[in-house]
Structure 1
Amino acid sequence: MEVIEVLHMNGGIGDTSYANNSLLQQKVISMTKPIREQAITDLYCSSLPKKICIAELGCSSGPNTLFVVSELIKTVSTICKKLGHDQSPEFQVYLNDLPGNDFNTIFRSLPGFHANLRNKMGSELGPCFFTGTPGSFYDRLFPTESLHFVHSSYSLHFLSKVPDGIESNKRNIYMASTSPPSVVKAYYDQFQTDFSMFLKCRSEELVTGGRMVLTLLGRRSDDPTSKEGCYIWELLATALSDMVSEGLIEEEKLNSFNIPKYTPCPAEVKTEVQKEGSFSIDLLEVSEVNWNAYNDELCPSDEFKDGGYNVTKCMRAVAEPILVSHFGKTIMDEVFRRYREIIADRMSKERTEFINVTVSMTRKG
């Protein structure tokens, strides 16, 4: 499986699209807003640049894609107004994701985004330019010292590849409590390799003093196989394993499938940043969010009161493309029907939360 070819969210604006099933990710983005505001404020006030280049890495498509960019632009414009500047700097925004991402939906939304921003900010808003940048963020994407601010949310926990040497991870699709120690080590080694390369690439692309704010799915526990990072995938593996037992999926198909993902703890993130050496950590924070994005919301209909339904739709928008690439499309409805039942059962019996690790960094001189 070539991750760069199959790892993307469900495109379009349909019922199972990421655009219509990404409220959870939006909640996390909203939770981390003060961290980004502080970072962009410190960046601007320290150098007063005439142009600010922002990269949104793992942008996907849908309402979240331009949400962070919009708030960063508004924050800088507000600072400029307080400082008595006639106009904010120019903004160059790079939207990055893997080539399979639904960039067309993003591009179609840009005229409306520009009009809405101009309507809110008026003549004080400087010119804003947008560029799509397809490619892996584990490689160089931008010219040397061309960026001022890098942001990524809920993307960097995905690895560049499925780790080598995990053939013994039978009936699992990710690290699990039943995974052999060699599998856990292989996942951690791949995370170290990838995250180190990510930092190296960004260190070459950011200007001295540039800022970077990253949020990953992670865990508090030191144990990589703890429920905090793995449970949601263990439950999907249960659904697939049941289908193997019933002869609906070949056992070899399941045994040869693994998710290219790693959910680090804060100490693992800190260690890699310090080892790479190009960044100073301004803040390292852990937060949590309920699996069910509508947990604290006024539900738009009775359907959304079903936590299993909500969580399954969110997971389907993320996981379906990579599952389809391995198992085929015909069994997807049945996989997620079973998954919904399993998730609903678990949510009725225990507390279910995603753990987020957010790190804010400055590029050293």
Structure 2
Amino acid sequence: MEVMKVLHMNGGVGETSYADNSSVQLEMLSMTRPILEEAITGLYLSISPWPSTLTIADLGCSSGPTAFFAVSEVIGAVENLCRKMGHNEPPEYQFYLNDLPGNDFNALFRALPKMQEEEARCFFTGVAGSFYGRLFPCKSLHFVHSSLALQWLSQVPRMIECNKGNIYMASSSPKSVMDAYYRQFQNDFSVFLKCRAMELVPGGCMVLTFVGRRSEDRSSSECCSIWELLAMALNEMVSESVPSETVLIRIMKGT
């Protein structure tokens, strides 16, 4: 089973939805505001003449308030810069909101009328597909934004049969498993960069925020503890035959 066909955040607006459980993501967007403003300034200085329409892609937008918060942050950074530079007329904005096909795009579209009332110069397009591949025509984007999405791999690494009892890197995982995840990230991120290099205009830029760790230990609790807890819960369910061990192995192998 391909990851991109089944992976998505919980849709809707209920208590278990991504929309109701994304406060950490919103905080991260606020923390990166200075970096965003610096990038927009660099974009302004590298593109001449300044375009009448800025094309911007938010990759891994999900379906909650984070998508439109990111939009507002970009618009705010551009318009602050325009005021500083003496531009009386800010540009129009073409935003491409991207996520995997299972994303709740309907929730985004339902929120668009209110957003467009506040930002009449904005136009939006939903783009379903994996950012580990081409999504846009060559040299069509001025700016790419992605927040807390690139830590998701395109697939479960191959040859991790020896990672029994775990669903990710864990303290009990052998070195071969750690190496497999490392190689998968290297391959995925290289593809991502090559695709964006083709899609960005000369002088275009990106702001990418994703999960990291301070420790050199690849199974550090900084990034792996939540997955170990999930693995423990799944193993406990297997002990009660819900699901069966065969199903659990398939989950762990991503099949």
TM range, smaller chain: over 0.9
SS of aligned partner of 2:203: strand
State whether residues 176 and 225 of structure 1, in contact with CA within 8 Å, keep that contact through their aligned partners in structure 2: yes
How many angstroms apart in 1 are the aligned matches of 2:178 and 2:244? Answer: 25
How many angstroms apart in 2 are the aligned matches of 1:100 and 1:159? Answer: 16
Measured after TM superposition, the shift of residue 154 of structure 1 is: 1.0
SS of aligned partner of 1:104: helix
How many angstroms apart in 2 are the aligned matches of 1:41 and 1:253? Answer: 51
Q: 2:71 aligns with which of 69, 72, 81?
A: 69
How many angstroms apart in 1 are the aligned matches of 2:140 and 2:34? Answer: 25
Unaligned runs of 5+ in 1: 119-126, 261-325, 327-365
State whether residues 172 and 255 of structure 1, in contact with CA within 8 Å, keep that contact through their aligned partners in structure 2: no
Measured after TM superposition, the shift of residue 254 of structure 1 is: 2.1
State whether residues 167 and 256 of structure 1, in contact with CA within 8 Å, keep that contact through their aligned partners in structure 2: no
Indicate yes or no: 2:16 matched with 1:22: no
- Match in the other structure for 1:224: 218
Q: 1:58 aligns with which of 57, 60, 69?
A: 60
- Match in the other structure for 1:157: 151
Deviating beyond 6 angstroms after TM superposition, the runs of 4 or more aligned structure 1 residues are none
Measured after TM superposition, the shift of residue 85 of structure 1 is: 2.1
How many angstroms apart in 2 are the aligned matches of 1:259 and 1:231? Answer: 19
Q: 2:84 aligns with which of 73, 82, 86?
A: 82
Write the deviation string for residues 119-155 of structure 1: whole angstroms up to 9, x where unpaired: xxxxxxxx32111111110110001011111010111
Change (3 A) 1:259 1:174: farther
How many angstroms apart in 2 are the aligned matches of 1:99 and 1:63? Answer: 19
Measured after TM superposition, the shift of residue 259 of structure 1 is: 8.0
Measured after TM superposition, the shift of residue 21 of structure 1 is: 0.8
Measured after TM superposition, the shift of residue 18 of structure 1 is: 0.5
How many angstroms apart in 2 are the aligned matches of 1:75 and 1:102? Answer: 27
Unaligned runs of 5+ in 2: none
How many angstroms apart in 2 are the aligned matches of 1:80 and 1:182? Answer: 51
How many angstroms apart in 2 are the aligned matches of 1:157 and 1:166? Answer: 19
Write the deviation string for residues 271-291 of structure 1: whole angstroms up to 9, x where unpaired: xxxxxxxxxxxxxxxxxxxxx
Q: Give me the identity figure in percent.
A: 60
SS of aligned partner of 2:67: coil
Counterparts of 1:116-135 in structure 2, within 5 Å, are 116-118=118-120, 127-135=121-129
SS of aligned partner of 1:242: helix
Q: 1:147 aligns with which of 141, 152, 161?
A: 141
How many angstroms apart in 1 are the aligned matches of 2:72 and 2:253? Answer: 32
How many angstroms apart in 1 are the aligned matches of 2:174 and 2:76? Answer: 49
State whether residues 11 and 19 of structure 2, in contact with CA within 8 Å, keep that contact through their aligned partners in structure 1: yes
How many angstroms apart in 1 are the aligned matches of 2:44 and 2:53? Answer: 10
Q: Which amino acid aligns with 1:84?
A: G
- Match in the other structure for 1:193: 187
- Match in the other structure for 1:103: 105
State whether residues 169 and 255 of structure 1, in contact with CA within 8 Å, keep that contact through their aligned partners in structure 2: no
Measured after TM superposition, the shift of residue 250 of structure 1 is: 1.5
Q: Which amino acid aligns with 1:44?
A: Y
How many angstroms apart in 2 are the aligned matches of 1:195 and 1:169? Answer: 23
Write the deviation string for residues 29-63 of structure 1: whole angstroms up to 9, x where unpaired: 11111111110122124322322111000000111
Aligned length: 253
Q: Which amino acid aligns with 1:108?
A: R
State whether residues 160 and 253 of structure 2, in contact with CA within 8 Å, keep that contact through their aligned partners in structure 1: no
CA RMSD of superposed structures (Å)? 1.6
Write the deviation string for residues 141-191 of structure 1: whole angstroms up to 9, x where unpaired: 001011111010111111111111011111111110111221111111111
SS of aligned partner of 2:215: coil
How many angstroms apart in 2 are the aligned matches of 1:93 and 1:232? Answer: 33
